[in-house]
Chain A
Amino acid sequence: MTVVPQSGGGPVAAGGGGGGGSSSLYDVLELILDRGLVIDVFVRVSLVGIEILKVDARVVVASVDTYLRFAEACNRLDLESRDKAPAKLPELVGEITEGGARGKSKGALTGAVEAFSESFRKGRDTRDTGESTTAGADAAGEPAEYAAYADGAGADGAEPEPVRERPRPRSGQRRPVRRREERGDG
């Protein structure tokens, strides 16, 4: 598969060409495994791990744990920024500081928020509470090994494991379900 070079920030998944190695296989795995034409008279081989993609996608949490995590993160943030630049800490309360000097990309973020209209995503009403991560439960007891898809190893050596949960640290909550009523006080 071909991977278009990126110009965006952050770590970039640079894939190998030629349909061979591909550090970005994870991103398209869902397409290969869960989309594509299905012909009902054909059998679909049982594939351990396919469900995991879906489970992962539905870990939607609006729980107390999630809120506490966010609260903790905000507290930590504030303290960090004081440690870094105590002299520059602006008087925040009750006032929006629009100076562009406070770290990278603030302007971009603000602009993006303001430039785009609100969207109401459908299909988000599943109000699960609590993290229901059943992913990774595997009868064979094999270790979670997503790395097998993320690096070039295993293409011709010992066969790696089938699809597993991606072993990146979950940051807990992804998609708060509650809609915001208003945009802060700005």
Chain B
Amino acid sequence: MSVYVYGITSADHPLRLDGAAGVGDPARPLRVVRGAVLAAVVSDAPDGLRARRRDVLAHQAVLDRLTGQATALPLRFGSVAPDDEAVRQALDERADEYRERLAALDGCAEFHLRAAVDEDALLREVLRQSGEARRLNDEVRAGHGTQELRVALGELVAAEVGARQDSFAAGIVDTLRPLAREVRRSDPTGDDFLSASFLVESARREEFTAREAELAARYGTDFDFRLHGPLPPYSFV
């Protein structure tokens, strides 16, 4: 029976799993596989596992519970080992590596921040600040809207918008970076201009969230800040 693996902890982790449910429908019960100095939380792996909502949430909930008790290394969703023995071997073979990472993450949680800005507000700003953009825009509106002219306007505006978004993103990250132990940025998706994860010590958690709230207030209603956390340190394992 193949085994679904949620996360890795040190052997002295409390590992209180009562009531937590694993992936699958019906949810597979959780159990612990112990190596020499580490432990892994696992369940049986259901057949045909996919990234269904309930399974993703189950994975997240198990790790949320584990990291709420002590440090744990979250595995990527969907990790499956052939059997318990294979899990035990993996724990022992790479024990030093995992312990080092557990120590590095001790007392830390991940906060994930995404931000978007209203595009119309940004365009107004560009038109207000760039005489060239205004000039091109007026020309187009006055009926001189050749393809070439419109492309020139769009290219200029696109560059201005991108520069501002990059500047916002850098400013936000720079403001929060001093409160984080590590920062990992990734390509923003959808309409966001920022996607960044921060590894934050529990002692600085309140300070971090307070500063993020200040930032969101300072940027104003044209911006949409979405902060998630504390999360298992997915981005820092």
Chain A residues at the B interface, C-beta cutoff of 8 Å: 1-4, 6-13, 15, 19-20, 22, 24-25, 27-39, 41-45, 47-50, 53, 56-58, 62, 64, 66-75, 77-79, 81, 92-94, 96-97, 102-106, 108-110, 112-113, 115-121, 123, 148-149, 154-156, 159-163, 166, 168, 170-171, 173-180, 183-186
Contact = CB atoms under 8 A, between A and B. Distances in A.
A33 B76 contact: yes
B90 to A, nearest CB: 5
B220 A9 contact: yes
Contacts of A161: 52
Contact of B163 (A41, A118, A168): A118
Contacts, number: 360
A116 B170 contact: yes
Main secondary structure of the interface of A (DSSP, over half): loop
Contact of A71 (B49, B150, B222): B150
Contacts of B132: 184-185
A162 B51 contact: yes
Interface of B: 2, 5, 7-8, 25, 45, 49-54, 56-57, 59-61, 64-65, 73-82, 86, 89-90, 94, 110-112, 114, 116, 118-135, 137-138, 140-141, 150-155, 157-171, 174, 186-191, 193, 195, 197, 209, 212-213, 215-232, 234-235, 237
Given A41-B90, A109-B125, 9 more contacts: A10-B223, A33-B78, A36-B232, A71-B157, A117-B171, A163-B56, A168-B191, A174-B193, A184-B160
